[in-house]
Copies of this chain bind each other. A is one copy, B any other.
Amino acid sequence: MDEKNFNEYNQEEMTEKQIRILEAAIKVFSEKGFEGSRTSEIAKEAEVAEGTIFKYFRTKKDLLLSLLFPLSIKFLKPFVMKSAEEIIERGKDKPPDEVLRELLMDRLKLIKKNIPLIKTVAIESFYHDELLEPIKDKIAPQVINILDNYVDAHKDNGDFKDYDTRLISRSLMSMLMGYIVLSSILPEYFSLYDDEEEIKKIVDILLNGIKR
């Protein structure tokens, strides 16, 4: 990274070895944290020599910042593709709860497939501004924009109440994140049903509230 911003990586010029290193880094970083990880362990995990890492990534920090690339590839791309339009399009002939369930279920699966990557980027962004900035500037806007569009569409067609759009978007994210985080850290307390059932109840509460 460094001078190049992470978009420049979008060219699929990554060698197989480079990808292996990046994936090893995701694994090790997510298990030990960035500072707690050793380049030697990443090298072993990637089955390359330690020196090879530094052929592709100038520093260990570079390796961390480069995680933004797989993050946007794996996470953002499908997010964007299955975009608001599509969801709303299909939503026209379905009740809003069903659409919302589909949407959250889809995101849940996507997140669960990429927990180590997301966990690492999320946590390390607290400590490294160089990581936080691109998230703020590139990734968050896209995610938020899609959610906002979805919410706006439902507000427009009268499905949702007239809350601030962003408040509703945040509520969706909160409920999904809360489920993922709490049920994974404290499964004995918070892992109640299977994902399908959980999402159903979450959507129910989100739409109708808990008050009788």
Residue of B nearest to A132 (CB): B185
The reply to whether the CB of A73 lies closer than 8 angstroms to some CB of chain B is: no
In the assembled complex, the CB of A101 is this many whole angstroms from the nearest CB of chain B, namely: 13
Decide if A210 touches B163 in the complex (CB within 8 Å).
Answer: yes
| Number of copies of this kind of chain in the complex | 4
> How many chain A residues touch the partner (CB < 8 A)?
54
Of A9-17, A39-47, A172-180, the one touching chain B: A172-180
Please classify the interface of chain A as helix (H, G, I), strand (E, B), loop, or mixed, using the class held by over half of its residues. helix
Contacts of A168 in B (CB 8 A): 205, 210
19 A-B pairs besides A33-B35, A159-B211, A170-B179 with CB distance below 8 A are: A35-B36, A132-B185, A141-B189, A158-B212, A159-B212, A160-B212, A161-B210, A163-B201, A163-B205, A164-B201, A167-B205, A168-B205, A171-B175, A173-B182, A175-B175, A177-B178, A177-B181, A178-B178, A205-B206
List residues of A whose CB falls within 8 A of some B CB.
31-36, 96-97, 119, 123, 125-127, 132, 136, 140-141, 144, 158-161, 163-164, 166-168, 170-171, 173-175, 177-179, 181-183, 185-186, 188-190, 192, 201-202, 205-212
